[in-house]
Structure 1
Amino acid sequence: MTYLLICCRLLLGVVFLVAVTGKLRGPAAFTAFVSSVRRMRVLPAALARPAATAVVAAEATIVAAAAVPVHAAGVLAFATAAALLTALTAGIVTSLARGGQEPCRCFGTADTPLGARHVARNAALAAVAGTGLLAGLLAAPTGAGPLAAPVDPALAAVAAAGGAVAGALIVMLDDIVALARPHR
């Protein structure tokens, strides 16, 4: 179960690291994110900036907690990710139901409008977070050391690499879909 936790931590860590850095790479990037939240028409316009700030704070919390090799930090990362992804998915679904065509600003700048693939992506990420949370709660710390269980370094490296690669693929989902589309 330790390797599953490592894989899930890295996957979510990569996804949310790219998300938070994309939104905070400069004032214009954060302003664009706030504007996209406002244009989604899910919240009153006055709440767009506080909501965007809360999203970025939650993303940063996930990254920081996922990076700390302490059992409780991993549980915090998974719980925060599950809650955030649930809220973000609800926002996307609500916006789409209202006819929203707002570009996905999930990772900073993008021209691709939010759509079903973003709902599916978030649902898959929420499943990863839920799996990590459940595994983390079931695998209570039993030994000494930062990960609280004996870890084979080679297997840990494979789990970490798998999580990082999966996270990178998720971040590049819109680009991958664009490559697979026939050109007109």
Structure 2
Amino acid sequence: MTAVAAGALAVVFAMAVAGKVSRPAFTRFRRSAAALWPVPGRLGARPATALAAAVLLAEAAVAAGLLLVGIVAPRPVFSAAVLLLAVFTAAQILALRRGRAVTCACFGRTDTSVSRTGVARNAVLIALGLLGAVTADRPGTTALSLVCAVAGGVAGLVVASLEDIVSLFRIPPVPAKGAGR
């Protein structure tokens, strides 16, 4: 299970980093991070840039650690992933509770707003991180670990794309009769 969790989370964190590295994407993410800042008041440009850069570096470190989970100590890597995801989830929940419509640039996209779907996605990822940490000391065969890591990577792609998948099945509202006249 460690390999499945590591594969899934590595893909998710790598997608998050890849989606934010271009200048326009990083700028969107910086704005999103500032908007999700939990303390009332506006977060200035420099602190928002520092926050966004720190998050990006932390995500990159976690992605790299998860890719090397067979070489590095897995528990600290899974713990870092869970901690990051918990912070992201708390910020999203706080924005939802405050009724704030905030764009989430979690994966560099700008058309996704903070939603219960994003919170659910993060809950699944946190559970995967906890599962990976709990099962980290159980050795597996190399071939089986590779298969599990690939399966986990595919699962990570699905979970990271959860909001897009949900939107495919969302039924658009029907306009009321006489609307638009």
User: Aligned match of 1:6 in 3, 9, 23?
Assistant: 3
Task: State whether residues 65 and 72 of structure 2, in contact with CA within 8 Å, keep that contact through their aligned partners in structure 1.
Answer: no
What's the TM-score, normalizing by structure 1? 0.84
In 1, distance between residues paired with 2:131 and 2:125?
Answer: 10
Listed one character per residue, the Cα deviations across residues 20-62 of structure 1 (whole Å, up to 9, x for unaligned) are 11011x1111111011111234245033222212211111111
Alignment of 1:30-69 (within 5 A): 30-43=26-39, 44-46=42-44, 47-68=47-68, 69=70
Residue 144 of structure 1 corresponds to which residue in structure 2?
none
Shift in Å, 1:133: 1.2
SS at the partner of 1:48? helix
SS at the partner of 2:20? helix
Q: 2:161 matched to 1:172?
A: yes
What one-letter code is carried by the residue in structure 1 that aligns with 2:15? V
Shift in Å, 1:99: 1.5
Residue 177 of structure 2 corresponds to which residue in structure 1?
none
In 2, distance between residues paired with 1:161 and 1:67?
Answer: 11
Shift in Å, 1:166: 0.6
Residue 83 of structure 2 corresponds to which residue in structure 1?
83
In 2, distance between residues paired with 1:166 and 1:106?
Answer: 18
Q: 2:134 matched to 1:134?
A: yes
Residue 124 of structure 1 corresponds to which residue in structure 2?
124
In 2, distance between residues paired with 1:49 and 1:95?
Answer: 20
Residue 112 of structure 1 corresponds to which residue in structure 2?
112
Shift in Å, 1:168: 0.4
Residue 162 of structure 1 corresponds to which residue in structure 2?
151
In 2, distance between residues paired with 1:76 and 1:37?
Answer: 25
Listed one character per residue, the Cα deviations across residues 49-90 of structure 1 (whole Å, up to 9, x for unaligned) are 222122111111111111112151x22320110110111111
Shift in Å, 1:102: 1.3
Residue 151 of structure 1 corresponds to which residue in structure 2?
141
SS at the partner of 1:107? coil
Count residues in correspondence: 168
What one-letter code is carried by the residue in structure 2 that aligns with 1:92? Q
In 2, distance between residues paired with 1:83 and 1:40?
Answer: 17
State the superposition RMSD in angstroms.
1.7
In 2, distance between residues paired with 1:58 and 1:22?
Answer: 14
Task: State whether residues 19 and 108 of structure 1, in contact with CA within 8 Å, keep that contact through their aligned partners in structure 2.
Answer: yes
In 2, distance between residues paired with 1:41 and 1:7?
Answer: 32
Identity of matched residues, %: 35
In 2, distance between residues paired with 1:180 and 1:110?
Answer: 20
Residue 12 of structure 2 corresponds to which residue in structure 1?
15
Residue 99 of structure 1 corresponds to which residue in structure 2?
99
